[in-house]
A and B are shown apart, each in its own frame.
Chain A
Amino acid sequence: MTKAKPTVLVSLLTALVILAIFANLTIGAYQLSISEIFDSFLRPENVNPITTSIVFDIRIPRLVLGIAIGVSLAGATTLMQSSMRNALADPALLGLAAASALGVVVALVLGFDFGGIAAFLFALVFTVTSFLLLLVGHFGGKRSSASNTLLIGVSLGAFFLGLLGVLATSLDNPQLRAMTLWSFGSLALATQTTSVIALVAAIVGFTVAWIFAPKLDLLLLGEWMAKTLGVETRKLRMISLLLISLLVTAAVYGAGVIAFLGLFSVTVARALVGPRHRLLLVVGSLISVLTILVCDLLARSIAAPVDLPIGFLTSLIGAPVLIFALARSAND
């Protein structure tokens, strides 16, 4: 396969992401011009307070949350695929996102606020636990195969969603409404708090992944060769596990389970730039951010003023990609 030239590709994607950012800030139920956006930042006294409120309470948090989720899901998927040596691994597909979601609901049932730091921490603990269960199934079984792991992941996910459904019945009405929207994956619940927490987690996760990327590359040579080249593979896998959990939590806690976004972007990025981690992380994140911003724009405009859960749209794009990838890997 011919590989795209990385610098050209990264510049092109960055330009598209910037374009998408402006589109997402200006287009909506309440149309804003680019100068109004700039004025809200630079000369807030000249701007209508409604505009400022829309920019800072709705559009910016939603945009920031979208970017954080895009980066987190691409990062988590990249790390999952390389540490499990399975090009079809995806946090939603393998039940991790459902575990995060369950963590948030448990926090709500215990009386914590939606979108607060407690919800984030609950989600993180549940994700780590579920990932450990998945890895026991993946590496602990007599025979570890990609399809076995996929089945274990899907079962775990279904179990968590079932549990989540049962627990959700004890929530009161407004919470339940938020939950419903959230369980399909939606950026509509973005607040300044959720977007900042998700962004910080995404940046931390991405940076640490970037630092460890050269070692993760060595893991691509196989466990054995990585070891003979001096990599503490077990330690690296543990770091990878924690990073994946952090990134999945960052993605799920603010906007719920957005299916297939990670799988879609990383599959496309891998086909474009190959498996080396640094480039894959960057290109995968850019594609993922671009996709989520475009999907969110569509989610807000297709049936306006109804705000469609973005998870619907990512599933519509992602599921065919997964089927295509499966069909291709079956031919290998």
Chain B
Amino acid sequence: MTKSILMQLSNGVITRDQTPLISQVNVSLEAGEISLLTGPNGAGKSTLLTALAGEKFLASGNLQFGGVNRDQISLKDLASKRSLMLQQDEAVDQLRAKDVLELADISPAVPAQTREFVSKIVDSALYGKTLGSLSVGQRTRVFLAATAIQNSGVMLLDEPTAGLDSEGISVLAEFLSRHSSAGHAVLIATHEDNLRTLASKEYVVTDGALSLKS
């Protein structure tokens, strides 16, 4: 597969509550590539991920998906271009894991290995439980599975290992590496070192600027 850029933000300025948070943001995510996003607490990593998803916080800059400007892509089509998992979901507690997975299953063709990951990370015991009854790690598992099943070109993950046990982390790591090899791009904001070995690039947010560490 030839390398292609699935998502690109150039000269981005990220603001939150009218205050500039990060300027000079240049991010480019290629098919088959896993990138890390690191930086101290409160540096704006989650805000940056949200901005890259193309809905909020981007004051200026040129955001493109597969060479097409964000403005020219409908919200519906955007769903196949990127998925976003934030640390805190706002889902209603009465939904079951099953419901979340059914609702996120919008892609016409989810690859077998993604289905396999979903059934591993959300096992049959977890599948029928309501969100309100889950632990932090279990809830992370459900939303990781939901983000994966969306089957979009780019996966944006915010602290995806929060609360996960070592089995969960290795299942996730294995999936991410196979998923990216299959032509997807992944960007992971994290403080942990356990996914570092997968990544080929690292973006670092410090003092309101984004730099690239290869």
A residues at B contact (CB < 8 Å) = 1, 82, 85, 217-218, 220-225, 227-232, 270, 274-276, 332
Nearest first, the 3 closest Cβ-Cβ pairs linking A and B are A222-B90, A230-B79, A230-B76
Report how far A224 CA is from B55 CA in the complex, Å. Answer: 9
Give the number of A-B contacts (CB < 8 Å).
Answer: 73
> Which of A1, A225, A230, A276 contacts B90 (CB under 8 A)?
A225
List of A residues within 8 angstroms of B100 by Cβ:
221
List of B residues within 8 angstroms of A218 by Cβ:
103
Of the candidate stretches B26-34, B80-88, B178-186, B194-202, the one touching chain A is: B80-88
Report how far A83 CA is from B146 CA in the complex, Å. Answer: 22
Q: How far is the CB of A49 from chain B (nearest CB, A)?
A: 53
Q: Is the CB of A230 within 8 A of B94?
A: no
Q: Is the CB of A228 within 8 A of B91?
A: no
Report how far A228 CA is from B107 CA in the complex, Å. Answer: 13
Q: List 26 A-B contacts (CB under 8 A).
A: A1-B130, A82-B92, A217-B103, A218-B103, A220-B92, A220-B103, A221-B95, A221-B103, A222-B91, A224-B50, A224-B86, A224-B90, A225-B89, A225-B104, A228-B55, A228-B83, A228-B84, A230-B75, A230-B106, A231-B75, A270-B94, A274-B96, A275-B94, A275-B95, A275-B99, A276-B95
List of B residues within 8 angstroms of A221 by Cβ:
89-92, 95, 100, 103-104, 146
**Is B173 interfacial (CB 8 A cutoff)?**
no
Task: From A1, A220, A276, A332, name the one whose CB has the most chain B CB atoms within 10 angstroms.
Answer: A220
Report how far A276 CA is from B78 CA in the complex, Å. Answer: 25
List of B residues within 8 angstroms of A82 by Cβ:
92
Interface string of B88-131 (1 = CB under 8 A from A): 01111111100110011010000000000000000000000010
**Is B40 interfacial (CB 8 A cutoff)?**
no
> Which of B74, B96, B99, B104 contacts A229 (CB under 8 A)?
B104
